[in-house]
Amino acid sequence: MQLPIPILCFLTPTLTLPSPQPSRCIASAPGCGSSSFALARRLPLPLPRSVASAMRRRGRRRAAPPTPAAAAGGEATATDADDKRDGTDLKTLATRFWKVAAPYWWSEDKTQARLRLAAVFTLTLAITGISVGFNFLGRDFYNALADKDQEKFTTQLLYYLGAFAGGIPFFVLRDYARETLSLRWRSWMTSYYMKRYFKNRTFYRIQSQSMIDNPDQRINDDLSAFTGTALGFSLTFFNAAVDLISFSNILYGIYPPLFIVLIVYSLGGTAISVFLGKNLVNLNFMQEKKEADFRYGLVRVRENAESIAFYGGEENETQLLLDRFRRAFDNLSELLIASRNLEFFTNGYRYLIQILPVAVVAPMYFSGKIEFGVINQSVSAFNHILSDFSLIVFQFQSISAFSAVIDRLGEFDDLLDENESSLPSQGGSIDGINIIFKSSGPSVLSSNGSPTQSDPCVVLEICNLTLLTPRSGNILFADLTMELKDKDHLLVMGPSGSGKTSLLRALAGLWTSGTGDIIYHVRGLESNLVSDEPSDKKIEGEELLQSSKQRRDNGIFFVPQRPYMVLGTLRQQLLYPTWTENVRPNDDAQSTDTLPFLSEASTSDATDTKLEMPSTDELIRVLEVVRLDYILPRFNGLDSMHDWASVLSLGEQQRLAFARLLLAKPTLVLLDESTSALDEPNEAHLYSQIEAAGITYISIGHRKTLQKFHNKALFISKTDSPDGNLCNWELRSSSQIPAEESSSPFSS
């Protein structure tokens, strides 16, 4: 916003734009010497400082925190074909912008949001009025100076001082109100996207199936840039419309031909800018991805430092990281060249307007038709209106960077919508795996609504289960049918790649590609049917399985080979995941103005059926049971903070996972080589503890020593049959397993 007098130029903050362009906010006034005051030329509203900083990084460096595009392994070997991308059309960008931006303004926080937005617009209107006032003050000020009227000059100077005192608070309060609204909007959107990201285990599908690159970057960086920039641009366009109305009458009243020159100049500049900068959107999009890939490589080195050191892979890692950086460097070089070409034009466009209005109205001044102060007034009005007409010229690089943000968030939003509405299928013949919970009571409803009897001794039934890999649709095994009763313990064996862990994924509800039923018999469960597949018809007593928490609350627990270590204390490690919501980290400072939507963490509608939280004595006792009590003095008790994945060995982490299991007291536990890092005495001790606790368990393992802890064994072999007609599984009693047979009964 221009305050068109020389003294005001020193008090007006430089308006910086969130783009890789040099500062273009201050230009010398036409006719002023080097010792003269500078004339601050009005530019579109600045974006919030935090957002401007982020957007400058996007425009010039585009260095944003990433995650892997495909941690499953495919992304790391990206080829040059991945370096190119088709541009997104304007209609799609507009649709995605509305889809991402709209939910907040109709959310539970809509009243506060709309009131704050109204306050920002009101302050913007007030600032426009102040600028119009300064425009006329500037005219009278320069007239007094040209007439050498000292008394009038002194009066105008006092008017200015009063205007400064009254006007500056409006500028400061407008910026503060805008930034606080942007922060509130970002907070709501972060909560909104986080809940959708974790709902229905979408985060797992994205990672395991490489659906989209860098989801965490989109939640953190892109949401921050989107809210601040969207609000900044909205105010810019609003301000431009008000300015256009306010200053057009002034300029047209001074000299109509000058108004026509302005329109022709701005439209021509806009067309040339669009032509020169047409590749910037795609270059910005790709730069963000490449910077993210490079940083992810660095994070991988940090997380796997010991393994790399053991392998002596320093040279390999250096080469891989330099290769990723080279890709970012090459793309950034193209981006800088495109920006340079655009800058040649925009700099000339920017500085030519400093003399253009003076050149047009100067003949009228020389002929005595206007006063000297009118020249300043016309320059001021011309710059205001030209800035309104030239938003695309002045902010083209900012707009291109913002378009990349919209594109990335739009892709992410579309993916979250797809996973909310339905789960991916592998073809028309694949109906999906049904996960059904049945009560151990006398009578329950089946999926078709008819009563069915449940055997109180049965824990798990698998009926005609055919399992496929989610992406390729390869059949791992077909028509698996079995029953597991209370106190039964099943060992799943087979060669690597036969589908042992995939079976556990299906049992946990992570993989649903295939057909068949997985039926859990849960004690005390009133409702019976829980399925990952949404249904248009919901029968009485039906409950959708929407989260791992819900499965956990029904007594199903999973222990992976490498346990997940949460960011927190040793106490939080033990209570995870059963009592996570009841444990809060000890913050140094408690927030006094916590937003309500930041306090809601639930991503499912599952009924909370948790056990009472264990006491400190019980936590210490369970560490003793798993032979891990020696770490208490080592880490100064239960409430110290450490990077547990680094300070505990894998064997210690596995024992900690068994401590979690014993505290949670599930009905059925799925163990995926959960004792692979333990010696045989510790392995035998842990299995004896969970058996003594009355927990039914299913184990995956290769060790022969595991056979004595199980009374049933399921053998799965690799199948070469593309249609899955060949039966590649066999269920036996563990007593029927020969001592020399360790992997498959299909050897002959």
Same domain, residue pair 357 and 441: no
Per-residue pLDDT of 679-733, as tens digits, reads: 999 999 999 999 999 899 999 988 888 888 999 999 988 876 555 566 888 888 7
Do residue 278 and residue 148 come from a single domain? Answer: yes
595 within some domain: no
pTM above 0.75, yes or no: no
Q: How many CA atoms lie within 13 A of 36 on its CB side?
A: 12
- Asked if 324 and 290 count as a contact pair (C-beta separation under 8 A), the reply is yes
- What Rg do the C-alpha atoms of the chain give, in angstroms? 34
Q: 3-state DSSP call for residue 515?
A: strand
Which pLDDT score is estimated for 239?
Answer: 77
What does the pLDDT average to over 466-483?
87
Beta bridge partners of 480: 465
Residue 269: exposure state from Cβ atoms within 10 A (0-12, 13-18, ≥19):
buried
> 715, 494 in Cβ contact below 8 A?
yes
- Dihedral angle computed from the Cα positions of residues 349, 350, 352 and 357, in that order, rounded to the nearest 10 degrees: 110
What pLDDT does residue 688 have? 93
Confidence of residue 79 (pLDDT cuts 50, 70, 90): very low
**In 10 A of CB 409, how many CB atoms?**
23
**DSSP code of residue 312:** T
**Is residue 165 located within the same domain as residue 313?**
yes
> Based on the domain organization, do 340 and 461 belong to the same domain?
no
Which of 188-197, 213-222, 427-436, 558-567 bottoms out in mean pLDDT, i.e. has the lowest?
Answer: 427-436
Instruction: Quick: pLDDT tens for 630-648.
Output: 999 999 989 988 889 889 9
The pLDDT value given to residue 450: 43
Quote the CA–CA distance of 290 and 286 in Å, as a whole number: 6
- Do 415 and 438 sit in the same domain of this protein? no
- Residue 668 domain boundaries: 434-582+608-736
Which residue, 419, 444, 472, sits at the end of a domain?
Answer: 419
Would you state the pLDDT for residue 206?
A: 85
Q: Tell me whether residue 176 is in a domain.
A: yes
Q: Does residue 66 form part of some domain?
A: no
> 456 and 412 share a domain?
no
Return the half-sphere exposure (C-beta side, CA atoms, 13 A cut-off) of residue 447: 15
Query: Is there a single domain that holds both residue 515 and residue 456?
Result: yes
Residue type, 436: I
Number of domains within the chain:
2
Instruction: Report the CATH number at residue 647.
Output: 3.40.50.300
pLDDT digits (tens, 9 = 90+) for 107-118: 999 999 999 999
Cα 226 to chain centroid distance, Å, stands at 12
Q: Which residue has the higher pLDDT, 385 or 45?
A: 385
Question: How far out from the chain centre does Cα 438 lie?
Answer: 37
Q: Is residue 56 part of a domain?
A: no
DSSP-based three-state secondary structure for 369? coil
Q: Is residue 588 part of a domain?
A: no
SS3 string, 128-184, reads: HHHHHHHHHHHHHHHHHHHCCCHHHHHHHHHHHHHHHHHHHHHHHHHHHHHHHHHHH
| Same domain (yes/no): 407, 527 | no
Q: What amino acid occupies position 639?
A: D
In this structure, are 540 and 616 located in the same domain?
yes
Q: Looking at the domain assignment, is residue 87 inside a domain? A: no
Of 378, 396, 419, the domain-final residue: 419
Indicate whether 393 pLDDT > 80: no
CA 243 to CA 129: how far, in whole Å?
9
Instruction: Tell me the pLDDT tens digit for each residue of 561-582.
Output: 889 888 889 998 899 888 865 5
User: Using CA atoms, how far apart are residues 136 and 1, in angstroms rounded to an integer?
Assistant: 15
The residue out of 390, 419, 448 marking a domain boundary is: 419
Query: Between 603 and 10, whose confidence is greater?
Result: 603
Judgement on whether residues 306 and 226 belong to the same structural domain of the protein: yes
Reported as a single tens digit per residue, the pLDDT across 325-366 is: 998 899 888 888 888 888 888 888 777 777 777 878 788 888
- Torsion angles phi and psi, residue 500, rounded to 5: -65, -55
Lookup: tokens for 52: 């401007």
Closest CA to 354 of 387, 392, 322, 328: 387
Q: By the 8 A CB rule, do 6 and 153 touch?
A: no
CATH of the domain at 211: 1.20.1560.10
Query: Tokens 């490079």 map to which residue?
Result: 294
Q: Which two tokens stand for residue 551?
A: 């499965």
The mean pLDDT of the chain is 74
Residue type, 731: L
Query: What is the structure's pLDDT at 6?
Result: 34
Q: Answer yes or no: do 546 and 455 share one domain.
A: yes
Distance CA 685, CA 620 (A): 18
Which spans in 539-698 are helix H? Answer: 548-553, 570-575, 616-625, 631-634, 644-647, 650-664, 680-692
